Amino acid sequence: MSLQATHWQDGWWSAARRVDSPNHGPRPEGTEVSLALIHSISLPPGRYGGDAIERLFTNTLDWDAHPYFQQIRGLEVSSHFVVRRDGELLQFVPTARRAWHAGRSAWRGRENCNDYSIGIELEGLEGERFEPSQYERLAELLHALARQHPLRDVAGHEHVAPGRKLDPGAGFEWGRLQSLTDWPDQYFPKGVLASR
């Protein structure tokens, strides 16, 4: 699908494959969506491909299919978007709704990031490198989101839950993302662009 031909309908982006998650709720009334929150995920850790991420976000994961799944048994989580290793984009929750991705978190002194953020999972393992196609798709998604919401910040899970979360980690190239979005430095966490 040409990105020129994409559109939004009820918070769903037509450039993404829609996979409905039951794990979401209303945002607080009057809340502006101002933060894009970047995560990394692979299930089991370090294994790419397959449908385990989709099954986790739709509460259909077979907890007995892999020993690691016992550690997350019963977890009810979601993210708005997932960017696969090949750049495929999936959407699980409409952007007007609150996905369950950040947990206990704060950004720039504001608590409860789920209330005002869009959760974007990159298929990958924290600390490892991501694929060029993922950066390209992520930049396209951020531009599309900025046309729908007053985004003014992009951060990683590690920045909103320091000491608790480490993703997307040292393998994520913030400077590369900035060069693809052409967004100003102040949109990004302090210090992540220093190594450009």
DSSP-derived 3-state class of residue 174: helix
Cα 40 from Cα 193, distance rounded (Å): 19
| Bridge partners of residue 132, in order along the sequence | none
**Given 121, 126, 140, 158, which residue is catalytic?**
121
Polymer length of the chain: 196
What secondary structure, in 3-state letters, does 81-126 show? EEECCCCCEEECCCCCEEECCCCCCEECCEECHHHCEEEEEEECCC
Is residue 121 part of the annotated active site? The answer reads: yes
Is-contact 100 23, C-beta < 8 A?
Answer: yes
Positive or negative: CA dihedral 132, 133, 136, 141 = negative
- The catalytic residues are 121
